Structure 1
Amino acid sequence: MANLTPITAEKLVSGQDKYLLLDVGNTRAKYAVCSNRTLSKIHVVDDKTDLQQLLSDKKKVLLSAVRREPVIDQINALAANMGIDVQEVKTEPKTFDLRCGYEIYPKLGVDRWLSVLALHQQGIDTYAVIDIGTACTCDFVQGNQHLGGWIAPGYDLMRSSLVSNTHQVTADTDYPDSLLIGETTESCVNHGCLAYVQGMLLTAEQKLKSLSDDYRIFIDGGSQALLKSIENKNVQLSPNLVFKGLMRYIT
């Protein structure tokens, strides 16, 4: 894995006001606070989260949602009562000079859109963003054009699908640190799923090489650690890209 300069929140935002950033993903909702050009630690929204306290000193809420959750309506209602503006970011045909590659642009998940937007202002012409979560997604960008991408099952979804849809195949809950040849059914499943995830990375690199000699691949998502053992100067772990994309909307 390349030891590149981290893409940090501190480079993205200025100002002293506090902003609440909310990311409602496929499996959970998360939030962070941005203040003084700094992104706080990421927290999970759960039953113990005091939403009113969370909103109490915020100038604005920036929201990204790939599914509708009760927390969205709760945030909107509380913010309205407190006089706090809520902006739900949506995928657009063009944002910050980046053009969306989907003809039917609302069909592109806003999480994918925010991830490529987070990196678009970093001065990198040709790149891909791979997000490894419930699904594995890959999006390609060259210049000011989002080219499109891929969607496939994530590691856990692939593993559970094997167990549910095949006979005499069992699995455990281990996550391999590196790719080996399995010697039990369970290890064969684990390493086979890892090989599949790594295959998306390797194939994405082939596509990028056909576009440019100078490219980067950025890895994000809850299961991004599955690719931490990859030794490639063009590949970089880059967590929290959705939040960094939301930060671009702070003016």
Structure 2
Amino acid sequence: MAERLVYVVNDEEIFLVDIGNTRIKYCALPDADNEPIAVGTIEALYEPLTRAGCKLIYVASVREEAAVDALRQIVEGKNIRLEVVNTEKSAFGITNSYENPATMGVDRWLAMIAGAGMTKKKAFCVIDVGTAITTDFVFNGQHLGGWITPGFHSMRNGLINSTKRVFGDESVPDKLQPGISTQMCVANGCLAAVQGVFLSAIAYLNSKQTDFDVILGGGDKKLFAFPESGGSILAANLVVQGLARYAKREIS
């Protein structure tokens, strides 16, 4: 991590940027626990960042390096410093299970960093529900590993595109039920598979025979709105909230 910045005056001058697979989310540091603003392109960040008096940006990206380079071009010559956060072997009391941490998506790493700040229990998992569903388990500060599964829309599109006589629509069921048309069967089947990730995570955590928390984040976390998930901790945006912990550590 770079040197501390003495010219950062207050939290409002620090912005957090999550460059995800489908959308880009951003907010000022004081708003990290709220739903971030979403835009479609890197270029759309120019006006809000320059207008807000931004001096420091913490950014995480799961895209190619070109996306971060585009953000660098936006802030170049504007007295805005860019801090790119990458996956580490250990930080904030969490040890990564990966032999080569660079091969883990930074979204998963930041989800664990955020999750650790939301619970005091020795065991927890974070489930980030979006284009993909990532699930990671932490016990006594040790990352045990995780899962990556297709998200609802990825799963549905993959099924439709790979079969000739199965088709669907854009509907997302409010609750799980048997379908009475092919479209309904596809939608509810994908929802059943998505919710199965949560139930499998609970089963695994129960096997550890300890108290635990489940932390849910991501744009599609509403798909887990069923009785078994009632005790979960809901996160506005795990990546942004993980970035916030890095930002606060550097300016404290």
TM > 0.5: yes
Aligned-pair distance for 1:154?
1.0
1:204 aligns to what SS in structure 2? helix
| Whole-angstrom distance in 1 between the partners of 2:73 and 2:115 | 32
Is the CA contact 2:58–2:82 (under 8 Å) kept in the aligned structure 1?
Answer: yes
Whether 1:184 and 2:178 are equivalent positions in the alignment is no
Describe the shift of the 1:195–1:248 C-alpha distance in structure 2 as closer, same or farther (beyond 3 A): same
Q: Is the 8 A contact 1:228 1:237 kept in 2?
A: no
Q: Give how far 1:227 is off.
A: 0.9
User: Are the equivalent residues in 2 in contact too, given 1:215–1:234 (CA < 8 A)?
Assistant: no
Written as runs of structure 1 = structure 2, the 5 A alignment for 1:53-132 is: 53-56=48-51, 57-68=53-64, 72-121=68-117, 122-132=119-129
Q: What is the DSSP-based 3-state SS (H/G/I as helix, E as strand, rest coil) of the residue aligned with 1:82? A: coil
2:224 to 220, 227, 231: 227
The TM-score, its normalising length taken from structure 2, stands at: 0.86
* Residue identity in the other structure for 1:83: N
Are the structure 2 counterparts of residues 216 and 49 from structure 1 closer, same or farther at C-alpha, using a change threshold of 3 Å?
same
The answer to whether the Cα contact below 8 Å between 1:52 and 1:78 also exists between their aligned partners in 2 is no
Structure 1 stretches lacking a partner, 5+ long: 1-14
Partner of 2:39: 45
Q: Which runs of 5+ in 2 are unaligned?
A: 1-9
Tell whether the 8 Å contact from 1:33 to 1:40 is kept in structure 2 after alignment. Answer: no
* TM-score (norm: length of structure 1): 0.86
| Match status 1:30 vs 2:25 | yes
Code of the residue aligned with 1:25 in structure 2: it is G
Q: What is the match of residue 21 of structure 1?
A: 16
The alignment-based identity, stated in percent, is: 36
CA RMSD of aligned residues (A): 2.1
Is the Cα–Cα contact under 8 Å of residues 160 and 167 in structure 2 kept in the other structure?
yes
Counterpart AA for 1:170: F
- Residues 218 and 226 from structure 1, CA distance in 2 versus in 1: closer, same or farther, beyond 3 angstroms? same
- Aligned pairs, number: 237
In 2, Cα distance between equivalents of 1:181 and 1:52: 47
Residue identity in the other structure for 1:19? I
